[in-house]
Every structure is written in structure tokens, then in C-alpha cells.
């Protein structure tokens, strides 16, 4: 809140400062009252007359407001009014005797006194040097800004969510372990009150009890819902959380009873809702927490409405402009986030994803991208097998020069790049560079490669990704988190009617592409000495509609998707720890997984097994008998970044203790999976 406090200090230091109004606004829990409290502390330290008012009680009437000011003057400064002195002139006279700051918290009902304040109260203070700071969720109404006497004296301060850097700075004082600080920063999404509540809960509970913090969304959702005065608005808010934006008609389609015009108008007046081109839109943090709370309260109803909302978004996608399509695609990815990979070497979608639009490449980004690429080459990861390591920097320069629209950049809050992927758009002008730096690529496409190498630039409809790297020197985001952000942005870009082509021999990347709806075209043996074949992957939005792609992803990740054998559940063979160990060993290779006898024994597909394990290990509260500690051990083991000895150190255990916990985790995961399988039959 440096900007707001600096402005206060400027006003206090100016001997000729005029009467001003500070309008402080923001969603519930973002820190409005905290800012007012800090302002009060600084004002009192400067010997400025400082009075605090609570709008919940002291905006009921003009008399209540004046009585509150009189009480503050009496209790804090020992000043008393003569019995025959009228209240309003007395208050105005006292506030005029010296520099004064009035701090009004909970100013949502200022409209009750709007006319009196503008015509009677403020006119007496216009020329005496008073600062009035008003904190409310929606800020001062438009009528105040349009007022000829006061509009020019209003300064607005909309409070924002914490950046990741600010969240980690707060957490550094919490006493929590570094790993847990990172996890809290990811899950609290920069919301100050959620951050504080989470830290308080974790301080009073064991490190492995992160699951009880699931109560926090309900606490905050209840606070926001209280701003909506009627049950009809409560239901409308919950429905609106499932859509990126909605007009009255669209919203009514998700409700049992249509929303009338008056209720829609009242909905638009709530502090955490803004007008959008397609109607009304919820603040993204409020939207996410309302969804999480709704999902826990009534999971079946949530899934039904989510499916209906997806249908509405798919219908809108066809005729929407590109900006709206981008918003819809990003919202759908977040709406079904629990279906996306959560413990993968390249992408972890478990943290809330930003609602940002894909960031365009800028020339000044190039030195950052080269640094990320150099670090990646040192570690031998992230870059394409089609490009020789010594050519990667030249390829990046050519892409930046010839095909800058093929570069996708992820940035920090201050705009600094922290990750990228880059590729050529496929047409005749770029074909010579592909032939020089990735000579195997076009021939592998056969006749299609010939067509693409001769296509006119304006007819280009395909993109190949050759390079990707992230900034591993920064500590704000884990590499897998940046991988998820990159993949999200690239997928959103593809929904604009492009075909994406990738080739990989990396089994982990292949498993990720499979889960995200890429279609395997063929395996290509390039060298008899190669450890693995190259796999050609394609995601084609030229002929695949947006909803078809999402449905494909859901089919491949939903553990309940397929009809099961109708055998009596009591006759079904059970999984044991050895079965689970085999499943996890081949977790990243669907082809290997498909061959395991246990899948045939249970009548399951490899995708269903992957989805079942994913849903258990991604659950906020792991199913009995799996404990939160065992869940984390399995998740970290699946990421594959550390060996057993390193994992034992991470969990502060001896190797023997870690092995014992690992075996127990396998047994408990087997029991939890058996429960899921029986439920699905």
C-alpha cells in the first residue's frame, strides 16, 4: 500500500493542503480497514486530529454521523459541546481549528446521506484543510465524481491483490517452512485475508494438516454472499461464478427461476462485480472461491450446473470475437482445473491460473529468453530433440525475427519475462530456416510437409513449437507452475483456429500432451541408437471445435467417464500395493500402462486409471485411509525430480523412515483406489 500511504504523507506535509477525499475500494478482505488503521497511526504520530467512524452504525442518519464525531472529539481529545450549541456548527468549527483527518470504514451505505453530505456537511469543510478517507467495497458513487465542487478533489485508490513477491514477503515472517510458504502463496492467489487466515490455521496445526484450510473459501464466500441481500441474488452469484461473464438472459438459463430485471440490476451493484461486454463479470478470486465452496456444499449440483455452463460457453464461443474467445477458453481451463495434471515434471495446474490474456512477445524480451534457453541447455531439458543444442540460440533469433507471433511469453506481475515457448508458423518464407535448423521436421510430415513448405505466409494455419524454457533462478514460481502457465497460454492461442504440431521423444512430455487433447499421429524411429522413438503430436483447431477439444480432455481425465462391467462389486479383484507400484512406475507412458495385466483384470483403461489416481492425489482432503503426508509423498515421488534419498531429506526423515512411509502410502492408495473402482461399477 505504498502508493496510498505516500499520498497521505504528501498531504500531511503540505502546509496549504486543501480539503480532499480519498476513495479506497476493493473486494472484501483485501485490506481496506488495515489501510485505514495504518493511516490513523501515521496521522496521530503527526499530531493531526484524527477521528474514526464506522459506516455500519454511523451512516444510519446525519444525526448518527454527527453524534459519532462528537463522541470521538470528547473521548479522544477531551472536547465537549456547550448544551445550547447546535451540533453541526459545533462539529464543523472543531474540525476547522486544526489539520484534521476523518477515516470512514464500511462506507457502503454512504448513499443514505449522499445529498446531506454534499449540500450541508462538506460545504462547511471545503476551505479548511480536512482529509476524509472513505473505505468501501465499490468506492464513491458516480454522483460524487460528477459533482462540480467535489469531483476534482476526489482521489481514487482501488486496492489490488498481492503479487506473488508480496505474498512470499508476508510468509517469510510466518515461521512456516519454505516449502509450505510456496504452497500457501500458490493457493491463496494474492488475497490478503485468505493469506492471513491460512497462516493462522497452519501455525496452530501440524504441518501435515493443510487440508483443514478448505474451510477458508467457505468463510470468505459467506462474507461476500452477505453483501447480496436476498436468496435469489445468492443463487445468481453462484451461477455467475461458473461463467466468465453473463447477461440477464444467460444467467437465467442456469437458474431454476429466471432472474428479473430488478435483481439483475442489484447484482450489478455488488462491489466484486463489474460490467463486461457480455454482461456482468465476477472478480476472479471471488469467482473461484464461490465455486470451491459450492463444489464442497453440493458436488452433484455443482457438476450439473458446470456442465450446463460449459454448453452455454461453447455456444457463445462460435460467434464471439477473438478477445471473448480467449476469455472463454481461459475460464474453461480454470473451471475444469482439477481434471488437468497436478504432479507432472513439466506442468502443475494445481495452483489457480491467472486470468490474463496471452502476452505478446516484445523485442526487449529477447535477452531474457536467451538466458532461460542457455540455462535450459546446461541442464539438457525443455528444448526440442529436432534442433541441435548449438543451434538453439540461432533458432530463437530467427523465430524472433521471422515469426515473432510464434513466441508465447509468461511474465511476472511487473512484466518481466519468466518463461517462453517459441516456434515457426509454417509457410514458404519460413521453410528454409526449418530445413537449416530442424531438417528432419518437414520430411517427417510427408506430403503435408511439402504443402506447408510451399504455402503463402497469409495462408499459414499451422505452428510447430521447437523451444521452451523457464527462469529457474527466480523463486516466486516453481518450474512446473510456469510450465502450466505456458501450456495454458499456448492452448488458448491455438483455439483461434490454428493447428499445433510437436515432436517429442520425452515420455513425460508425451504423457502431458496426451492428457491435454493432442492426438498422436505416429511414432518415428530416427536413429537405431536412440533411446526412444519420436512421437508426432497434433492439436488441430482448424477442424476441431472448441467444445470438442474440451470434451476430449474431459473424457481422458474423468475417472467416471466409461461404462463399467456390471459385475457384482464384491466379485471384483482388488488392487494391492504391488499393483499400485506397477501403475505408478508406468504412470507417464500410456502404451506401457495399457499392457499391465491389472488393467485387463479390472476392465479399466489406462486413461481411467490415470484419472482415478490423479483425482485422489489432487483432492483437497485425501480419501481414507490416505493421509495428507502420504498424499504429498506420492505427489513428490510422481514428479520424478528427486531420488529417494533426496525425498527423505525434503520430508526431514531418515531413509528407513521414508521407505516405511512410502510403503504405507502405496497400501493406502491401493485401498482408496479400490473404493473409487467399486463406486464406479
CATH of the domain at 497: 3.40.630.30
- Reference 650, options 630, 664, 668, 636; nearest CA is 636
607 and 631 share one domain: yes
The reply to whether 617 falls in a domain is yes
147 lies in the same domain as 176 = no
Task: Using a pLDDT cut of 90, give the percent of the chain over it.
Answer: 26
Helices 231-240 & 284-297 angle (0-180, nearest 10) = 110
| Other beta carbons within 10 Å of 301 | 12
Q: What is the pLDDT of residue 564?
A: 37
Which domain range does residue 263 map to?
165-339
What is the model's pLDDT at position 680?
47
Predicted local distance difference test score (pLDDT) of residue 241: 92
Lowest-confidence segment of 18-32, 257-271, 414-428, 522-536 by average pLDDT:
522-536
Domain boundary among 138, 158, 178: 158
* Residue 235 domain flag: yes
- Check whether 616 has a pLDDT greater than 70: yes
Q: For the segment 279-298, what is each residue's pLDDT rounded down to a tens digit?
A: 998 888 888 888 888 887 88
DSSP 105-149: ESGGGGGGGHHHIIIIIGGGGTTS-EEEEEEESS-S-HHHHH-TT
- Give residue 676's pLDDT band: very low, low, confident or very high (50, 70, 90): low
Using 50, 70 and 90 to split pLDDT, how confident is the model at 632?
confident
User: For strand 20-25 and strand 130-136, is the pairing parallel, antiparallel, or unpaired?
Assistant: parallel
Q: What is the pLDDT of residue 529?
A: 46
Residue 564 within any structural domain of the chain: no
Per-residue confidence at 556, pLDDT binned at 50, 70, 90? low
Average pLDDT (563-567) is 38
Higher pLDDT, 359 or 373: 373
Asked whether residue 634 carries a pLDDT value surpassing 80, the answer given is yes
Q: Are residues 146 and 169 in the same domain?
A: no
Same domain for 369 and 489: yes
Based on the domain organization, do 522 and 643 belong to the same domain?
no
Task: Please indicate, yes or no, if residue 16 is contained in any of the structural domains.
Answer: yes
DSSP 8-69: HHHHHH-TTPPPEEEEEE-STTSSHHHHHHHHHHHHHHTT-EEEEEEHHHHTS-HHHHHHHH
pLDDT, greater one: 22 or 235? 22
Query: Is the same domain home to 69 and 216?
Result: no
Give the pairing type, strands 130-136 and 100-105.
Answer: parallel
The more confidently predicted of residues 149 and 210 is 149
> Has residue 590 been placed in a domain?
yes
Answer yes or no: is pLDDT of 131 > 90. Answer: yes
Domain end marker among 524, 552, 580: 552
In 3-state terms, what secondary structure has residue 274?
Answer: strand
Could you tell me if 377 and 519 lie in one domain? yes
**Cα separation of 625 and 617, whole Å?**
12
Residues 384 and 525 in one domain: yes
Is residue 185 within 8 A of residue 211, CB to CB? The reply is no
pLDDT range class, residue 386, cuts 50, 70, 90:
confident
Among 101-105, 268-272, 677-681, the minimum mean pLDDT is found in 677-681
DSSP H or E run through 439: none
Domain count along the chain: 4
Q: What is the pLDDT of residue 494?
A: 84
**Residue 575: pLDDT band with limits 50, 70, 90:** confident
**pLDDT-based confidence at residue 177 (cuts at 50, 70, 90):** confident
Residue where a domain terminates, one of 101, 129, 158: 158
512 and 372: one domain?
yes
In this structure, are 310 and 171 located in the same domain? yes
**pLDDT at 156 (0 to 100):** 95
Instruction: Tell me what the mean pLDDT of segment 146-169 comes to.
Output: 92
For residue 656, the model assigns a pLDDT of 74
The pLDDT assigned to 188 comes to 84
Q: pTM of this prediction?
A: 0.66
pLDDT of residue 561: 45
480 pLDDT above the threshold of 90: no
Residue 562 lies inside a defined structural domain of this protein: no
For residue 43, what pLDDT band results from cuts at 50, 70 and 90?
Answer: very high
> Using 50, 70 and 90 to split pLDDT, how confident is the model at 484?
confident
Q: Is residue 123 part of a domain?
A: yes
Q: What is the pLDDT of residue 214?
A: 58
3-state SS track over 562-598:
CCCCCCCHHHCCCCCHHHHHHHHHCCCCHHHHHCCHH
Give 358 or 638, the one with higher predicted confidence: 638
The CA–CA distances, whole Å, from 379 to 372, 375, 472 equal 11, 7, 11
Amino acid at each position: 500500500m505504498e502508493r496510498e500511504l505516500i499520498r497521505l504523507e504528501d498531504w500531511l506535509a503540505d502546509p496549504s493542503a486543501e480539503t480532499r477525499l480519498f476513495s479506497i475500494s476493493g473486494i472484501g478482505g483485501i485490506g481496506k480497514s488495515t489501510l485505514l488503521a495504518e493511516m490513523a497511526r501515521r496521522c496521530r504520530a503527526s499530531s493531526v486530529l484524527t477521528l474514526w467512524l464506522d459506516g455500519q452504525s454511523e451512516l444510519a442518519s446525519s444525526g448518527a454521523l454527527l453524534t459519532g464525531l462528537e463522541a470521538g472529539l470528547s473521548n479522544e481529545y477531551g472536547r465537549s459541546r456547550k448544551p445550547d450549541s447546535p451540533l453541526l456548527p459545533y462539529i464543523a468549527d472543531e474540525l476547522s481549528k486544526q489539520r484534521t483527518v476523518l477515516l470512514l470504514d464500511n462506507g457502503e451505505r454512504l448513499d443514505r446521506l449522499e445529498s446531506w453530505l454534499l449540500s450541508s456537511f462538506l460545504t462547511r469543510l471545503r476551505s479548511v484543510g480536512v482529509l476524509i478517507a472513505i473505505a468501501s467495497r465499490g468506492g464513491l458513487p458516480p454522483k460524487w465524481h460528477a459533482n462540480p465542487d467535489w469531483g476534482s478533489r476526489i482521489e481514487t485508490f482501488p486496492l489490488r491483490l498481492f503479487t506473488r513477491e508480496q505474498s512470499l514477503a508476508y510468509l517469510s515472517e510466518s515461521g512456516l517452512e519454505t516449502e509450505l510458504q510456496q504452497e500457501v502463496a500458490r493457493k491463496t492467489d494474492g488475497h490478503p485475508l485468505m493469506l492471513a487466515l491460512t497462516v493462522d490455521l497452519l501455525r496452530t496445526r501440524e504441518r501435515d494438516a493443510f487440508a483443514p484450510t478448505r474451510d477458508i473459501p467457505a468463510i470468505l464466500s459467506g462474507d461476500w454472499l452477505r453483501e447480496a441481500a436476498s436468496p435469489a441474488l445468492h443463487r445468481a452469484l453462484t451461477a455467475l461464478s461458473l461463467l466468465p461473464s453473463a447477461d440477464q438472459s444467460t444467467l437465467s438459463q442456469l437458474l431454476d427461476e429466471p432472474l428479473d430485471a430488478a435483481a439483475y440490476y442489484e447484482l450489478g451493484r455488488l462491489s466484486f462485480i463489474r460490467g463486461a461486454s457480455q454482461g456482468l463479470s465476477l472478480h476472479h478470486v471471488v469467482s473461484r472461491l464461490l465455486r470451491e465452496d459450492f463444489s464442497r456444499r453440493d458436488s452433484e449440483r455443482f457438476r450439473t450446473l458446470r456442465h450446463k455452463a460449459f454448453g452455454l460457453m461453447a455456444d457463445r464461443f462460435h460467434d464471439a470475437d477473438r478477445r471473448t474467445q480467449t476469455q472463454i477458453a481461459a475460464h474453461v481451463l480454470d473451471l475444469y482445473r482439477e481434471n488437468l495434471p497436478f504432479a507432472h515434471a513439466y506442468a502443475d495446474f494445481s495452483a489457480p491460473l491467472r486470468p490474463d490474456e496471452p502476452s505478446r512477445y516484445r523485442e526487449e524480451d529477447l535477452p531474457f529468453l536467451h538466458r532461460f534457453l542457455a540455462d535450459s541447455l546446461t541442464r539438457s531439458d525443455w528444448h526440442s530433440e529436432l534442433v541441435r543444442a548449438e543451434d538453439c540460440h540461432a533458432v530463437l533469433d530467427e523465430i524472433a525475427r521471422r515469426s515473432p507471433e510464434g513466441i508465447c511469453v509468461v511474465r511476472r506481475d511487473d512484466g518481466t519475462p519468466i518463461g517462453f515457448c517459441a516456434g515457426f508458423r509454417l509457410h514458404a518464407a519460413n521453410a528454409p530456416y526449418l530445413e537449416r535448423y530442424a531438417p528432419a521436421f518437414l520430411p517427417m510430415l510427408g506430403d503435408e510437409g511439402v504443402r506447408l513448405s510451399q504455402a503463402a505466409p497469409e495462408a499459414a494455419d499451422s505452428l510447430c513449437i521447437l523451444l521452451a524454457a523457464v527462469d529457474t533462478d527466480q523463486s516466486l514460481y516453481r518450474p512446473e507452475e510456469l510450465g502450466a502457465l505456458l501450456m495454458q497460454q499456448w492452448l488458448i492461442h491455438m483455439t483461434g483456429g490454428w493447428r499445433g504440431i510437436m515432436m517429442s521423444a520425452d515420455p513425460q512430455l508425451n504423457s502431458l500432451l496426451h492428457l491435454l487433447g493432442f492426438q498422436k499421429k505416429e511414432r518415428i524411429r530416427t536413429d537405431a541408437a536412440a533411446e526412444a522413438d519420436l512421437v508426432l503430436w497434433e492439436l488441430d483447431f482448424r477442424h476441431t471445435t472448441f467444445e470438442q477439444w474440451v470434451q476430449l480432455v474431459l473424457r481422458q481425465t474423468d475417472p467416471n467417464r466409461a461404462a463399467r462391467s456390471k459385475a457384482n462389486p464384491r466379485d471384483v479383484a482388488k488392487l494391492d500395493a504391488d499393483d499400485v507400484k506397477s501403475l505408478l512406475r508406468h504412470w507417464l507412458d500410456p502404451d506401457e500402462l495399457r499392457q499391465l495385466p491389472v488393467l485387463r483384470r479390472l476392465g479399466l483403461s489406462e486413461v481411467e486409471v490415470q484419472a482415478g489416481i490423479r483425482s485422489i492425489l489432487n483432492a483437497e482432503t485425501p480419501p481414507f485411509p490416505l493421509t495428507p503426508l502420504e498424499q504429498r509423498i506420492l505427489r513428490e515421488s510422481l514428479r520424478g525430480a528427486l531420488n529417494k534419498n533426496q525425498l527423505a531429506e525434503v520430508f526431514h526423515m531418515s531413509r528407513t523412515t521414508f521407505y516405511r512411509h512410502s510403503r504405507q502410502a502405496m497400501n493406502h492408495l491401493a485401498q482408496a483406489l479400490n473404493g473409487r473402482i467399486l463406486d464406479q461399477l
